[in-house]
Amino acid sequence: DIQMTQSPSSLSASVGDRVTITCRASQGIYNYLAWYQQKPGKVPKLLIYAASSLQSGVPSRFSGSGSGTDFTLTISSLQAEDVATYYCQNYNRPSGTFGPGTKVDIK
């Protein structure tokens, strides 16, 4: 099975900072990679799919890049409402494995 790793596991940044989260797949998954945001006590929200496509309604400060095994989620200017845990997900069949998550908070 494909394993997903994320780094860092947590980060603290100031409002307005550029934040980058990395996701790595144990084998190539083309661009079958999604990013989700989960705020405390809430259900996950889809941010990015196909590695770099922004889901409808998601602010443009969120962007994704990468293909194959290495992927990145970038928040261009961190806002207070972006405090959450971020998960990557491989959806290249047969499995839909999630990464372990990256917790983002405000410094």
Partner 1 sequence: EVQLLESGGGLVQPGGSLRLSCAASGFTFSSYAMSWVRQAPGKGLEWVSNIGGSGDSTYYADSVKGRFTISRDNSKNTLYLQMNSLRAEDTAVYYCAKVLRFLEWLPGPFDSWGQGTLVTVSS
3-class SS string, 17-73: CCEEEEEEECCCCCCCEEEEEECCCCCCEEEEECCCEECCCCCCCEEEEEECCEEEE
Q: Which of 66, 71, 75, 89 binds partner 1 (CB under 8 A)?
A: 89
Least Å distance between CB 106 and partner 1?
21
71 binds partner 1, rule: CB under 8 A? no
Residue 52 binds to partner 1 (criterion: CB under 8 A)? no
> Judged by CB, which is closer to partner 1: 75, or 88?
88
86 binds partner 1 (CB under 8 A): no
68 forms part of the interface with partner 1 (CB under 8 A)? no
Burial label, 46 (beta-carbon count in 10 A; 0-12, 13-18, 19+): middle
Are 74 and 65 in contact by the 8 Å Cβ rule? The answer is yes
Q: How many residues bind partner 1 (CB under 8 A)?
A: 26
Given the rule CB under 8 A, which residues bind partner 1? 1, 32, 34, 36, 38, 43-44, 46, 49-50, 55, 85, 87, 89-101
